[in-house]
Structure 1
Amino acid sequence: MSKYYIAVDIGASSGRLMLSQIKNRKMVLEEIHRFKNGFKMEDGHDRWDIDHLISEILAGLKKVKQRGIDKVTLGIDTWAVDYVLVGEDGKKLSNPISYRDARTKDAVEELTASISKEEIYKKTGIQFQDFNTLYQLYKEDKDLLDEAKYIMLVPDYIGYVLTGKAVTEVTNASTTQMLNLRHGLFDNKLLDEIGVASEKFPPLVDAGTYLGQVKEDLKEANDLPEVRVITVATHDTASAVVGAPGKGHDWAFLSSGTWSLLGEELRIPENGHEAYLENYTNEWGAYGTYRFLKNIMGMWVVQCIQREYDGKYSFPQLAELAGQVKPFEQFIDINDDRFTNPESMIKELQAYCKEHGQKVPKTPGELVMAAYSNLALFYANQISKLGQILDQKIETLNIVGGGSNVALLNQLTADLAQIKVVAGPGEATAIGNIMVSMISNGDVKNLKEGRQLIADSFDLKEFEPKTNEYSQVLKDYQAFLEK
């Protein structure tokens, strides 16, 4: 009898349940349920509707049962840093606030007035972003914090609601900027700085840990199959890197979705001075690895542009329009905080170009090409810096996630960085989620074998550099960023 696996994979704009099994020595993947996600203003903050997400997961599992599948193994991954405060009665105290909420503006500067950035980085190896959980908790309502029994990251909370078991999975916990690299635990000095007791976090567990069965009352009320829950690599980027079919030791990854995460998988973290200056992060990965990476704005820019045209254009249509426009007509620091959550991405891009004396993009094609051009420039620049920090020549860039489907962006990146790009799989996050469950269940031996299975199972596209005419463009862009 085939063993069935479910990945619950939830991003900032949507979530889905992906069904998988191994057939004829290949991993087969099928989307079985999709639903919308997004934050909205509630009680003065941008908040996630966490109950909606859980109800959609149950609806998806009911569909699985209706397919005649009576037993599945399930893993959950979501975005990072956001958390749910849980009271003594086991229920949430409020809906979780989104990392894009404005409450943490200036929080980094305020907190680092009492403990230096250098000390925080030496302890944690995590990049400075004002939405890191450390700064969210620093700005949290102290009365609400006092009332909380648990502080639970979003995927851990969902697992808790499903099984009744409370844990803190390490790949996601590392993104909080509160785990100590040396000790592997929450850093008490950092917790003291923000007035949070370590006891409020459930026990730390590694990716691949068995969590429990979905509770009987949920199973009966919703007509669900028997569901065995594994705590997988619950941070979506950690799952995406598991799902990246990299080989050898000279490859880098680019997890391309709402955010772009570019880096390498290391066995020993790199939290030296150069990494600190470049704001690289050492997020913990599955199986004793570290994701040494740079956080880049990503497809969020294009998603916002598409939304502002009221869905008139699909993403493939926007990419086609962009392909008709000359690249590199303007230089934009795509990682500027002003693009994190603007009222209008189009107006913000245009205002930036005006302020810097750049050609102002106006048409949908021009706007999207401006986004793709500057993402490719940023990627190429960071590939160069990554190699310098690690003293290593990177031969291949494995691009996974939804952005791996944008051939125009893949080719621009290959040409600028003068590197081989391997694109796919697009569903790497769900695939990596499931792969951890497969390894946990013993159906796959280890990560190396798992990545070979992924490479054998999914369509991968290769992009070799076609030209080196953009070398001066990249140098000019680097000079622009250094001004």
Structure 2
Amino acid sequence: MNNHIAVDIGASSGRLVRGTLQEGILSLEELHRFNNSFSEQEGSCFWDIDYLFEQIIIGLQKAKALGIPACTLGIDTWAVDYVLLDAEGHRIQEVYAYRDRRTDLLMEEVAKQFSPQSIYEKTGIQQLSFNTLYQLYAHSDEELAKADQILLVPDYLYYRLTGHTINEVTNASTTQLLNLDTQEFDADLLSFLNIKREQFATLTEPGTVLGTLDKSLLQQYDLPECQLICVATHDTASAVLGAPLKEGSAYISSGTWSLLGVERTEPLNTMKAMQANYTNEWGAYGTYRFLKNVMGLWLIQEVRRLLNDRYSFAELAELAQVEEGFRSLIPCNAPRFLNPTNMIDEIRNACAESGQPIPETPGQLARCIFDSLALSYLTYLQELEELTESQIEGLQIVGGGANNRLLCQLTANAIGREVKAGPTEATALGNIVVQMISTGSIADIIEARAIIEQSFEITSYFPQTITHFDNILSRWKDL
């Protein structure tokens, strides 16, 4: 079989992409694209999970109409958000979005009962207010007691397609409930939440064959014959698999979030790593993603939305290109930028409060964001080197941010090292190569990355001198 379809759903959009391998070259074809966003209902933020399932069905119908009679299929999405199912397999509650504010103050409350040091020692996962641990702590006890199964979003979509329940490991690790030593859900943390182990499904590794589409779907819709394969369902895990990493390189999976880290074969859950808020998310094939969450392109996505989408992302980058560099800077990872009422106002207020020029125009706002992201990457790259006690030779940027030439060049300038940008479709590629490895089309991830490197354009950016960089860094550190 040489038709492999990735269902790749991010926080702002989703798509179905077909991958085919011919004479050592991997090709992608987008079959269906759709928007995604959460909505507010009575003061809470929810995803429309039924809409996402419907879009998968529409994409598969398009695949069949294009002459694809059979395929393998894998699903990846964002992390941490979950679905509660009752004993009949029905959804108990709408799916909370991680930017919902119900967990804003819960880390301190939980810390009074379960020390952050103990949680990190057990799980190696960074403290973020939206981690599943805190979301479940905030959830209604009555609804949790009714839950027969707790599935993360991609697990639930697999369930809707096959009727089988799983908890895929790369995404399950982001719950902050998996124990690094036992490689299972941590009994103490489950007890703390008053949740039973059997409320979670079997931990499932990427590459596991899950079976075929539910017969009722084939009767209801004109769909290809699909063999569903469990991929690395956390989109960052798939993106890292799709990155042609070299020894000594770090990566940034650049999208709504910028995930900056290195791939390791062992976790690094020291107290220094905890204090710097680095995480050890599980990867495919016995790896760990030791990384830092940076607010990422969410900042410019919100600015663009508030400008009524009258500029494309490319146009905003062009406007930023001609603006004065490092005029105004913001600390990208400050909680105020997680989900503000108005991102433009929040950026302007932050600049005003720190005595900097206020960015007024779209170009100035974009330049403020890109400059600040580049300096964030420098800061966290230096932290990464210190924590891992290793020299990082270069940086591979994958995902949508690899298309932003200005940001890539600014990053190379800031870190003083070569930046390789691409492939932009790393997440879909990582999804697809796991399917290919599972079916025997590709031997292993080493071969997969070599195929990706020769199949897709990778652009190199070399560092250029930044005038008065010491002064800029001094201002940056004072924010």
Q: Same fold by TM-score, threshold 0.5 exceeded? A: yes
Determine the structure 1 residue equivalent to 2:453. 455
Output the amino acid matched with 1:378. Answer: S
TM-fit CA distance, 1:330: 2.0
**Deviation of 1:419 (Å):** 1.0
CA 1:470/1:409 → structure 2, altered by over 3 Å: closer, same or farther? farther
Residues 133 and 176, structure 1, Cα contact 8 Å, conserved in 2: yes
Q: Distance in 2 between matches of 1:181 and 1:474?
A: 40
Q: Which stretch shifts more, 190-199 or 298-307?
A: 190-199
CA distance in 2, matches of 1:286, 1:337: 30
What are the ranges of 5 or more consecutive residues in structure 2 without an aligned counterpart? none
Distance in 2 separating the partners of 1:44 and 1:385 = 37
Letter in 2 for 1:336: A
Structure 1 residue 471 displacement after superposition: 4.1
Amino acid at match of 1:42: Q
Match of 1:35, SS state, is strand
Match of 2:425 among 427, 436, 444: 427
1:53-452 superposed matches below 5 A: 53-248=52-247, 250-452=248-450
- Secondary structure of 2:457's partner? coil
Determine helix, strand or coil for the equivalent of 1:287.
coil
Give the SS at the match of 2:408: helix
Between the aligned partners of 2:110 and 2:166, the Cα distance in structure 1 is: 27
- Alpha-carbon distance in structure 2 between the residues aligned to 1:359 and 1:267: 45
Measure, in 2, the Cα distance between the counterparts of 1:473 and 1:23. Answer: 52
Gaps of 5+ in 1: none
Structure 2 CA distance, aligned partners of 1:126 and 1:470?
37
User: Matched residue of 2:127: which SS?
Assistant: coil
Deviations 1:316-340 (A, max 9, x none): 0000000011111123111011111
CA distance in 1, matches of 2:471, 2:51: 46
123-132 vs 89-98, which moves further:
89-98
What corresponds to 2:8 in structure 1?
A: 9
- In the TM superposition, residue 475 of structure 1 has moved relative to its aligned partner by 3.3
Separation in 2, partners of 1:152, 1:473: 49
CA deviation profile, 1:244-295 (whole Å, cap 9, x unmatched) = 01122x0101000000000000001111121111000000001000000000
2:429 and 2:471 map into 1 onto residues whose CA distance is 36
Deviation at 1:468, TM superposition (A): 5.3
2 CA distance for matches of 1:473 and 1:280? 28
CA contact (8 A) 2:395 2:419 kept: yes
Runs in 1 of length 4+ with deviation above 6 angstroms? none
Residue 399 of structure 1: SS of its match in structure 2? strand
CA offset digits 1:344-403 (Å, max 9, x no partner): 100000011111111110100000000000000000111111011111111110000000
- How many angstroms does 1:343 deviate by? 1.3
The residue type paired with residue 91 of structure 1 is H
Cα distance in structure 2, aligned partners of 1:357 and 1:365:
20
Q: CA deviation at 1:109?
A: 0.6
Displacement of 1:115 after TM fit?
A: 1.1
SS in 2 for 1:411: helix
Decide whether the 8 Å contact of 1:210 with 1:230 is kept in 2.
Answer: yes
User: Counterpart of 2:314 in structure 1: which amino acid?
Assistant: P
Structure 1 contact 322–365 (Cα < 8 Å) conserved: yes
Following the alignment from structure 2 to structure 1, what is the Cα–Cα distance between the partners of residues 333 and 115?
23
Do 2:326 and 2:472's aligned partners in 1 also have CA atoms closer than 8 Å?
no
For 1:206 and 1:83, locate their aligned partners in 2 and report how far apart those are by CA, in whole Å: 18
Q: CA contact under 8 A between 2:38 and 2:97: conserved in structure 1?
A: yes
Q: Is the 8 A contact 2:86 2:147 kept in 1?
A: yes
Q: Give yes or no for contact 1:211–1:230 (8 Å, CA) kept in 2.
A: yes
Superposed CA deviations along residues 64-84 of structure 1, whole A, max 9, x for unmatched, are: 111111110000000000000
Q: CA deviation at 1:196?
A: 1.3
Question: What is the RMSD of the two structures over their aligned residues, measured on CA atoms?
Answer: 1.1
Q: Pick closer, same or farther for the CA change 1:470–1:70 going to 2, 3 Å.
A: farther
- Give the deviation of 1:216 after TM superposition: 1.1
Match of 1:33 in 2: 32
Q: What do the CA deviations read for 1:416-469 (whole angstroms, capped 9, x no partner)?
A: 101110000001000100011111111110111100000000011000112254
- Following superposition, the deviation at residue 241 of structure 1 comes to 0.2
Distance across 2 between alignment mates of 1:302 and 1:331: 14
| Distance of 1:343 and 1:43 partners within structure 2 | 16
Is residue 242–residue 429 contact of structure 2 (8 Å, CA) maintained in 1? yes
Task: Tell me the SS of whatever aligns to 2:210.
Answer: strand
Retained in 2: the 8 A contact 1:416–1:470?
no
Asked if the contact 1:381–1:474 (Cα under 8 Å) also holds between the matched residues in 2, the reply is no
Residue in 1 aligned with 2:470? Answer: 472
SS at match of 1:46: strand
SS at the partner of 1:288? coil
Does the 8 Å contact 1:262/1:294 carry over to 2? yes
CA contact 1:156–1:167 (8 Å) conserved in 2: yes
Secondary structure of the 2:99 match is coil
Question: TM-score, normalised on structure 2?
Answer: 0.98
Q: Secondary structure at the match of 2:303?
A: helix
What is the total number of aligned residue pairs between the two structures? 479
| Equivalent residue letter for 1:122 | E
Distance in 2 between residues matched to 1:278 and 1:471, nearest whole Å: 24
Measure the CA separation in 1 of the matches of 2:218 and 2:343.
43
Contact 2:348/2:359, CA 8 A, preserved across alignment: yes
Distance 1:253 1:10, change over 3 A: same
CA distance in 2, matches of 1:297, 1:262: 11
SS at match of 2:74: strand
Contact 1:377 1:474 in 2 (8 A): no
Measured in 2, the distance between the counterparts of 1:437 and 1:295 equals 27
Q: Distance in 1 between matches of 2:96 and 2:299?
A: 21
Q: Partner letter of residue 150 of structure 1?
A: Q
1:31 CA drift (Å): 0.7
Any conservation in 2 of the 1:332–1:352 contact (CA below 8 Å)?
yes
Q: Using the alignment, how far apart are the partners of 2:197 and 2:148 within structure 1?
A: 11
* Cα offset, 1:36, TM superposition: 1.3
Q: CA deviation at 1:478?
A: 5.3
Mapped to 2, the partners of 1:218 and 1:164 lie a distance apart of: 11
